[in-house]
Chains A and B, each alone.
Chain A
Amino acid sequence: MSNKVDINHQFDVDELIETAKRCRREIVKMTHRASAGHPGGSLSAIDILVALYKTRLNIDPESPKQQNRDRFIMSKGHASPAVYSILYEMGFISHDDLNSFRVMGGICQGHVDMKWTPGVDFSAGSLGMGLSFGLGVSLAATMDGSSRNSFVMLGDGELQEGQIWEAAMAAVHHETGNLNVIVDCNRIQNDDFVDNQLRMFDIASKWRGFGWAVMECDGHDMREILTAIEWLDSVTDRPAVVIAHTIKGKGVSFMENNPSFHGAAPNDEQLAIALEELK
C-alpha cells in the first residue's frame, strides 16, 4: 500500500479551517484549566497539524501502533495542547482525556509522551532531539523497504540546539528522502523574540547549506500548507524542510506575537475573550 496521498487540494479547506478553530478553542481551554502549559506555540502550530493529520498521515486511531503507520514527531514537545487537540479530533483520545492535561494520572502529560498517550510516537520535552529520532525512524523505514514517512515539527527557537544540525548533516549523508521537517517559525522563544535571544538570520539558507530541499510557506494559510505537504512528498532523493512562517498565539488577539504567552495560561477573563474571538 502506498502511503502517498494525492492531495490536489481536493479536501474541504473550509472544514480544515473549522477543525483548526475547534482545536484552538481546546488549546486555550486546556491551558486555562491546567493554569499552565504553552498556548502560544500550540496556536502557531495547529493549522499545520490539522492539515497533516486530516489529509496526509497514514494512521489509525483503532490501531495506533500499526507497524506501517507514518510517524509524526513533535519535537517542540511543549506544544502538547496542539497535539492533544488534533488527536481528539482524530479519535485517538477522548474529551475527558483533554481534561486530564497536566493532571496527575492523566494521559495528557505536560509534554507529549509516547508512553502515556495513544497516537503519540515520541517522548519530547527537551528541545533538539526530535529530528535525530525522526532520522532513526526514517532509516528504519528504508531498511524495512517500507514507504512510510516521518514528519518532524521543530520550532525556530529550537534550531539553536546543536543537535538539530548534527541530525541535519546525517540525514543528508544518508539521503533520507522519507524524512520531512516542518519548522514552526513563530519568531518567539521562552524568554523573548528569537531575534533578541539569538538571531537565526536566514533559516532557509542554513538548511540549503546543509543540503536539504527547502520551501517556505505561510503556516496559517491552509491552501499553502497543503501545497507544502504535497511538495514534501515530491522530494524523494533527500530530506526536505518547509519553513512555515507563523504567528505565535495565532487566533487570540492578546496572545498574538506576545512572548508572555509562550508558557503562560489564560486566566478566567482572558479565556472568555479568547473563546469569543474563536467562535
Chain B
Amino acid sequence: MTNAASRDGYGSALIKLASDPKVVVVEADLGKSTKSQLFRKSHPDRTISLGISEQNMMLVSAGLATSGYKPFASTFAIFTERAFEQVRNGIARPNIPVHICGSHGGVHTGTDGSSAQSIEDLAIYRTLPNMTVIHPSDDISTEFLTIQLADMNSPSYTRTARNKTPRIYDEHSVTKLQIGKGAILTEGSDVAIIACGVMVSKALQASDELKSQGINSTVVDMHTIKPLDHELLTQLSDKCGCFVTVEDHSIIGGLGGAVAEFLVSNMPCPLERIGVNDHFGESGQGEELFIKYGMSVEHIVSSAKTVISRK
C-alpha cells in the first residue's frame, strides 16, 4: 500500500485550481509545510504573503473574497486557532467564502510536541454557523475535496495531516466522494466504525482484524465533520446498532462529539469514542503516541467488541 500525506493533496489541488484566475493563495509563512508553496512557485502573482500573522491573514482573505476572489488561506491547524475570533466574526458570521486549511492536525504530527498538535480544531470550527469542516484521509481525497470547495459560496475549514499514512483512494474510487456525504469503505452489520483523517486507515486495519475474528464491520470515511451525514448515520444505526468513532482529535467535540450529539437526540445506541482523551500530546513518533493514548488498531478492535457487547 502506498503511503502519502494529505497535505500534499492540498498543494496539488491548488495547482489544479490555478486555471481559475480568481483563485488566490494567502500565506502566513508556512507555505513550505502546508504545501501552498507549490502554488506560489507557479503563480507568485496570485500568492499573497503576509508573514507570521494569522489574524491578519483571515481578514485579508475576507477582503479578497468580498471583491470576487476565491482565497485559500493556510497555516498549521493550531495557528488558525489563534485567529478563531477573526474566523468567527470576520468570515463565518458574514458568510464570506474563505477556504482555510490547517495542516499538521492531530498528535500524529509527532515530534514537534503538544504545542504543534491541534486536537481541538474540528471541535471549534464545527460550532460556527455557515462553516463546512472537512478532514480527508489521504492526499487523493484531499485534492478531490479541496477542488470542490472552490465552487462553494460559503467558508470552510480543512484539516490536513503532516505525516504519511496508507493511501485510501485511487483516481477512480475518489470520484464518488462528495462533501457532506460519508464514504462507505467496507460493509458489515455487527458494528459501524466512523473514522476521519489519518485514522481511516487504522479503522480499515481494525476491520480486517475483526473480520478474522468473525465480526463484520462497516467502515466509513467521514471526511466531512460538518455538515455531518445524518442520513448515513441513521441507516447504520438500523443496520449495525452500535458505533465506534475514531479520530486523531480530542474525543470532546470533534467527530465523536458530533456523532454522539446526533445519535443521542435521534436514535440512542451504544457508542465508543477513540481519540485523545482530554489531555495534551507530547513529543514522540505519531504511531508511538497512538499506542500510548489508546488509539491503535488494537484499541479500535477492543472498542468494537465492547460496543457490540453493549447492544
Which of A's residues lie within 8 Å of B, judged by CB? Answer: 67, 113-115, 121, 123, 125-126, 128-130, 132-141, 143-144, 162-163, 166-167, 169-170, 173-174
Contacts and interface: CB of A to CB of B under 8 A. Distances in A.
Interface string B27-62: 000000000000000000110111101011111111
B60 A132 contact: yes
Contact of B60 (A121, A135, A162): A135
Contacts of B67: 136-137, 140-141, 144
B94 A136 contact: no
Given A133-B90, A141-B67, A166 B56 contact: yes
A121 B66 CA distance: 9
Nearest to A138: B63
B3 to A, nearest CB: 37
A129 B64 contact: no
A126 B61 CA distance: 17
B122 to A, nearest CB: 23
Contacts of B24: 143
B93 interface: yes
Interface in B56-85: 56-69, 71, 85
B69 A163 contact: no
Interface string B84-126: 0110011001110000000000000000000000000000000
Contacts of B45: 143
14 contacts: A67-B68, A115-B95, A128-B55, A129-B90, A132-B58, A133-B59, A133-B62, A135-B60, A135-B63, A139-B48, A139-B64, A140-B69, A170-B50, A170-B60
Interface residues of B, number: 31
B43 to A, nearest CB: 12
A144 B24 CA distance: 12
Contacts of B46: 143
Contacts of B63: 132-140
Main secondary structure of the interface of A (DSSP, over half): helix
B64 A140 contact: yes
Given A125-B89, A163-B86, A132 B55 contact: yes
Nearest to A150: B63
A133 B71 CA distance: 13
Contact of B93 (A123, A132, A144): A123
Contacts of B62: 132-133, 136
Nearest to A170: B50
Contacts of B61: 136
Given A123-B93, A126-B85, A173 B51 contact: yes
Main secondary structure of the interface of B (DSSP, over half): helix
Contacts of B55: 128-129, 132, 162-163, 166
B71 to A, nearest CB: 8
B60 A167 contact: yes
Contact of A132 (B49, B51, B56, B95): B56
A163 B86 CA distance: 10
A215 B86 CA distance: 30
* A-B interface, 7 closest residue pairs, ranked by CB to CB distance from nearest: A136-B63, A132-B59, A140-B67, A166-B53, A166-B56, A136-B60, A137-B63
A173 B71 CA distance: 19
Nearest to B88: A126
Contact of B53 (A121, A136, A169, A174): A169
Contacts of B69: 140, 143
A138 B24 CA distance: 14
Given A126-B85, A143-B46, A163-B86, A137 B58 contact: no
B87 to A, nearest CB: 11
Contacts of A166: 50-51, 53, 55-56
Contact of B89 (A115, A126, A135): A126
Contacts of A133: 59-60, 62-63, 66, 90
Given A126-B89, A170-B50, A136 B59 contact: yes
A279 B180 CA distance: 59
Nearest to A140: B67
Among A67, A132, A174, the one with the most B-chain Cβ atoms within 10 Å of its Cβ is A132
Contact of A129 (B48, B65, B89): B89
A132 B61 CA distance: 9
B51 A129 contact: no
A238 to B, nearest CB: 17
B151 to A, nearest CB: 19
A82 B200 CA distance: 54
Among B57, B65, B94, the one with the most A-chain Cβ atoms within 10 Å of its Cβ is B94
A113 B56 CA distance: 19
A176 to B, nearest CB: 11
A172 to B, nearest CB: 11
A113 B48 CA distance: 26
Contacts of B95: 115
B2 to A, nearest CB: 38
Contacts of A144: 67-68
B59 A113 contact: no
Given A129-B90, A133-B90, A163-B53, 19 more contacts: A114-B66, A123-B90, A123-B93, A128-B55, A134-B63, A135-B56, A136-B71, A137-B63, A137-B66, A137-B67, A139-B64, A143-B45, A143-B46, A144-B67, A144-B68, A163-B56, A166-B53, A170-B56, A174-B48
